[in-house]
């Protein structure tokens, strides 16, 4: 496609801006991630003395790191509009987010829209493809306790056993409350054809905007974290006393649907370089009490399939009208613009660069003392 004389200055500015953003992102990663690692190392004695306080501090730093990633999109004009249930109401409870997956930008979108939900991001555990372990953020996720899952039939059973063990060892010991899961097991464009063939073979609905979810990881999470309940209370004995003495367990499933205008998802390269025009990503939430979710495999499969059929309907309506449909019994759907505080972004970025400068001088001092 030829570039006209009128477009040349605009394209030149886009290129210069992209290079400047990339340079800032590299510097931001170097100082922020290095400082995070240094703080975690220096705080190891606290981990031995007061593990809960250590993971609280680590979680706050983790939230700040994700806030920095969110800021890259925020200043490029990639904002979020939220629809459906208000998830702030359950931000202090244990919950699982089931999210449709279209591109790498989905993760960045969640990093942004969850920043104003209290300590959710600090106490969150992500389930992500193992390839992310080898990215610049991989070391942070490993320290925080996120789980990297390897895709493919040959790895499936082993990965589910590893996930169960990981939850037992890391979820409550690190005071985690939310888990983010992409049940489709991959990007829409990569899995759609296979999913549609599977649906045709098994007489399941033909989906276009999402794919049929995989059940394994969801099943493991629910069985590992849900406190067995009767009529909404922990089973057996004095219910009120047990509620005070023992953790409530997983309480909510948050069905999360991400929609991009014209079905054009944002990838991580766009998020970093900012060469796409400002875009509003739309995120729809629906909260389900865990007592309404079947835990046996067959019932859970049907329930999860139904959620993704509803996602298909939500996305079809959005792509036709530019808005999500209203809840049953209402005339209009209400939306909420998610915002980030520019002052808060400035403070955490300043802290990152000042910390980087401090650790550089500390390391340089000890290097000169030794050599």
**First CA to last CA across the chain, in angstroms?**
58
User: What is the largest distance, in Å, between two alpha-carbon atoms of the chain?
Assistant: 79
CA 303 vs. chain centroid, Å, equals 22
Q: Do β-strands 229-230 and 233-234 pair in parallel, antiparallel, or remain unpaired?
A: antiparallel
The length of the chain is: 371
Could you give the CA distance from residue 356 to residue 30 in angstroms, rounded to a whole number? Answer: 8
In this predicted model, what pLDDT tens digit does every residue of 151-180 receive, in sequence order? 777 778 888 999 999 999 999 999 999 999
Could you give the CA distance from residue 321 to residue 168 in angstroms, rounded to a whole number? Answer: 44
Encoded tokens for 25: 């992102």
Q: From residue 143, how far is each of 172, 248, 258, 351 by CA, in Å?
A: 15, 26, 28, 20
Positive or negative, the CA dihedral 126, 107, 306, 87 is positive
Angle CA(147)–CA(152)–CA(154) in degrees, nearest 5? 105
Radius of gyration (Cα) for the chain, nearest Å?
Answer: 22
Encoded tokens for 292: 């309404």
One pLDDT digit (tens) per residue for the chain, 371 residues: 455 666 667 677 788 888 999 999 999 999 999 999 999 999 999 999 999 999 999 999 999 999 999 999 999 999 999 999 999 999 999 999 999 999 989 999 999 999 999 999 999 999 988 888 887 788 999 999 999 988 777 778 888 999 999 999 999 999 999 999 999 988 888 888 888 998 889 888 889 999 999 989 999 999 999 875 444 444 444 434 444 344 578 999 999 999 999 999 999 999 999 989 999 999 999 999 999 999 888 899 999 999 999 999 999 999 999 999 988 777 778 889 989 999 999 999 999 999 999 999 999 998 889 88
Contact 319, 209 (CB under 8 A): yes
Residue with tokens 């739309």: 282
Could you give the CA distance from residue 95 to residue 117 in angstroms, rounded to a whole number? Answer: 13
- The architecture in CATH of the region 79-230+247-339 reads 3-Layer(aba) Sandwich (3.40)
- Give strand ranges (E) for 171-315: 178-181, 229-230, 233-234, 252-259, 279-289
Give residue 9's pLDDT: 74
Least Cα distance to 144 among 109, 102, 111 occurs for 111
Could you give the CA distance from residue 232 to residue 237 in angstroms, rounded to a whole number? Answer: 14
Q: Looking at the DSSP assignment, which residues form a beta bridge with residue 129?
A: 149
Least Cα distance to 24 among 267, 272, 266 occurs for 272
Residues 6+ apart with CB under 8 A from 295: 222, 223, 226
Residue with tokens 């953003």: 21
Could you give the CA distance from residue 23 to residue 13 in angstroms, rounded to a whole number? Answer: 15
Least Cα distance to 349 among 21, 65, 54 occurs for 65
């Amino acid at each position: 496609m030829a570039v006209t004389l009128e477009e040349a200055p605009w394209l030149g500015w886009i290129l210069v801006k992209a290079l400047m953003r990339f340079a800032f992102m590299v510097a931001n990663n170097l100082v922020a991630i290095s400082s995070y690692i240094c703080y975690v190392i220096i705080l190891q004695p606290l981990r031995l003395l007061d593990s809960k306080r250590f993971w609280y501090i680590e979680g706050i730093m983790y939230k700040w790191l994700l806030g920095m990633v969110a800021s890259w999109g925020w200043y490029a004009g990639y904002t979020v509009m939220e629809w459906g249930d208000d998830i702030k109401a359950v931000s202090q409870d244990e919950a699982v987010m089931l999210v449709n997956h279209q591109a790498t930008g989905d993760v960045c979108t969640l990093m942004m829209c969850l920043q104003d939900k209290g300590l959710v991001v600090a106490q969150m555990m992500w389930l992500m493809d193992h390839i992310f372990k080898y990215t610049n953020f991989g070391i942070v996720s490993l320290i925080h306790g996120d789980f990297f899952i390897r895709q493919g039939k040959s790895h499936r059973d082993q990965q589910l056993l590893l996930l169960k063990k990981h939850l037992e060892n890391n979820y409550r010991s690190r005071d985690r409350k939310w888990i983010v899961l992409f049940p489709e097991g991959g990007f829409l464009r990569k899995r759609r054809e296979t999913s549609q063939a599977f649906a045709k073979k098994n007489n399941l609905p033909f989906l276009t905007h999402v794919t049929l979810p995989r059940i394994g990881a969801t099943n493991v999470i629910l069985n590992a974290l849900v406190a067995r309940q009767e009529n909404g209370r922990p089973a057996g004995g004095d219910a009120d006393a047990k509620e005070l003495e023992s953790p409530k367990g997983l309480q909510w499933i948050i069905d999360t649907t991400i929609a991009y205008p014209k079905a054009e998802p944002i990838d991580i390269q766009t998020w970093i370089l900012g060469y796409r025009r400002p875009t509003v990503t739309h995120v729809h939430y629906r909260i389900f009490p865990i007592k309404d979710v079947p835990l046996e495999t067959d019932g859970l499969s049907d329930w999860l399939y139904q959620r993704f059929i509803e996602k298909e309907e939500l996305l079809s309506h959005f792509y036709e009208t530019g808005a999500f449909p209203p809840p049953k019994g209402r005339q209009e759907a209400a939306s909420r613009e998610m915002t980030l505080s520019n002052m808060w972004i400035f403070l955490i970025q300043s802290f990152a660069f000042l910390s980087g400068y401090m650790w550089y001088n500390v390391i340089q001092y000890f290097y000169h003392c030794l050599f």
